Structure 1
Amino acid sequence: MASLPKNAHVSQHPCLQAKLSQLRSAGTSSRDVQTLVHEIALMVGYEALASGLASQDDGTDKSPLGYSYTRTTVQPAPSRISLVPILRSGLSMVPALSSLLPTPVAVHHLGLYREKSTLQPVEYYNNLPYHSPTASNPAAVGPAELAIIVDPIIATGATSCAAIDSLKDWGVKRIILCAVLATKQGLEQACSEWPEGVEVYVGGCDEEVDEKGMIKPGLGDIGDRLYLTLGK
């Protein structure tokens, strides 16, 4: 989509597009929804981290045959990276992104929901550690250098913008936002919130949302499909 912002990246991978088509189907079971979201998150995350990270030497080690080689890790270091799932459906993408990184990283949760009448985000949970290390509190955790937001859906973009603002206030230097599906409006909103600090990677892009704020044709309520809470 040539008209999208330069910091928006929509995957063109044919296997991802086929999996996204399967995920759209109302006949796809909850177990298969979970599997497909995981697989698409892996593919989106692979593309995002290829651009968002760099390789860095990390000392030396020996191979099973006794040969010396230079170890490689990523830059920023995993200790300076944070995964930030948007509750609740963002949790479904955490294992995929975690598995791509060479060592475990901190996971900081943000709870956001859309108020039904205004479709505006309301924050109900935030466990970002806002206190930086000091002489009196050396165990405090400062802001990550890179925050990776994971949320399967970017509909209007309001929730993504709220998450970006929270992380920017925390003090992160860069943000990568990974999603399964977005709308054109949602991508534009998310990308414009902090253009110099945010890159957005998605598996697919639909044109618009309906009057209830749901993407057309979209994926339905992905949280309900993931966690078998349809009809609540």
Structure 2
Amino acid sequence: MSNVHVSNHPCAKAKLSLLRSASTNAKDTKNLVHEIATIVACDAFASGLAVQQTGTDQSPLGYDYTTEDVSPKNISLVPILRSGLSMVDAVQALLPSPVSVHHLGMYREESTLQPVEYYNNLPYHKAGDEDSVAELAIIVDPIIATGSTVCAAIETLRDWGVKRIISINILASETGLQRAAEAWPEGVELWVGGVDKETDARGMIEPGLGDIGDRLYLTMGK
């Protein structure tokens, strides 16, 4: 679909290959997620943000110049707990000014593989107060497997009132990515570092990255 963008960056592909390995430790896993997120976010922002003139300033030599900033200004970064936290610093570092970070906590129910929301700190939206809702929400979550979690996040953000969503992900399955792309085609752009064909009976991507949250936070075998 036209709202799906898969990275062709050679460095992203090479780093994704390293990230797949069961021998990659937690420290290197965290670094690789950060680096791939930076590459994917650079492409996403080059397409999804604009530049606007904001005024004038002076250089150290006393020359006047026109200042610029990104548009829109009202942006919220929305990590999906817990593994989405590993991508926040990478995305924040690319933006010229700090943006609000609103967390969504979701987990997959084991038998149905459906998402269950357990935490939501999006600010309360008062009728008529448009400034309380971000014009652009940026979802960060390393994995799109079945697509259920990102679709639930998209629905939550639509209900909140955002006008556009950019989803930045490290790896997706074909079916999960297709499902996410169809959730709100006119309002969502999905940017991923790579795509695998399918998921297994547990809803895990094959060959995938394993449980990236457990790998990041050393909670394997819980």
Compute the displacement of 1:141 (Å).
Answer: 5.8
The whole-number CA distance in structure 2 between the counterparts of 1:159 and 1:61 is 44
Compute the displacement of 1:142 (Å).
Answer: 1.3
Tell me, yes or no, if structure 1 residue 129 matches structure 2 residue 123.
Answer: yes
Tell me, yes or no, if structure 1 residue 115 matches structure 2 residue 109.
Answer: yes
Aligned residue-pair number: 222
Unaligned residue ranges in structure 2 (runs of 5+): none
Q: State how 1:1-232 maps to structure 2 within 5 Å.
A: 5-77=1-73, 80-132=74-126, 142-232=132-222
- Per-residue CA deviation, residues 148-206 of structure 1 (Å, 9 max, x unaligned), is 00000000000000000000000000000000000000110111000000000000000
The whole-number CA distance in structure 1 between the counterparts of 2:201 and 2:103 is 29
Q: Percent identity?
A: 67
The whole-number CA distance in structure 2 between the counterparts of 1:128 and 1:90 is 16
| Runs of 4 or more consecutive aligned structure 1 residues displaced over 3 Å after TM superposition | none
The whole-number CA distance in structure 1 between the counterparts of 2:67 and 2:177 is 37
Conserved 8 A contact 2:125-2:160: no
Compute the displacement of 1:132 (Å).
Answer: 3.1
The whole-number CA distance in structure 2 between the counterparts of 1:89 and 1:11 is 20
The whole-number CA distance in structure 1 between the counterparts of 2:79 and 2:134 is 14
The whole-number CA distance in structure 1 between the counterparts of 2:119 and 2:60 is 47
- Per-residue CA deviation, residues 5-30 of structure 1 (Å, 9 max, x unaligned), is 11000000011000000000000010
> Which amino acid in structure 1 is aligned with residue 162 of structure 2?
V
The whole-number CA distance in structure 2 between the counterparts of 1:30 and 1:204 is 20
Conserved 8 A contact 1:129-1:141: no
Counterpart secondary structure, 1:118: coil
Counterpart secondary structure, 1:148: strand
Conserved 8 A contact 1:132-1:141: no
> Which amino acid in structure 1 is aligned with residue 83 of structure 2?
S
Conserved 8 A contact 1:113-1:123: yes
- Per-residue CA deviation, residues 41-81 of structure 1 (Å, 9 max, x unaligned), is 0001000011000011111111111111111100101xx10
Unaligned residue ranges in structure 1 (runs of 5+): none
TM-score (ref. length: structure 2): 0.98
The whole-number CA distance in structure 1 between the counterparts of 2:149 and 2:199 is 14
Change (3 A) 1:123 1:45: same
Conserved 8 A contact 1:132-1:143: no
Aligned-CA RMSD value: 1.2
Conserved 8 A contact 1:133-1:141: no
The whole-number CA distance in structure 2 between the counterparts of 1:129 and 1:141 is 11
The whole-number CA distance in structure 2 between the counterparts of 1:42 and 1:132 is 34
Compute the displacement of 1:82 (Å).
Answer: 0.2
Compute the displacement of 1:131 (Å).
Answer: 2.2
TM-score (ref. length: structure 1): 0.94
> Which amino acid in structure 2 is aligned with residue 175 of structure 1?
I
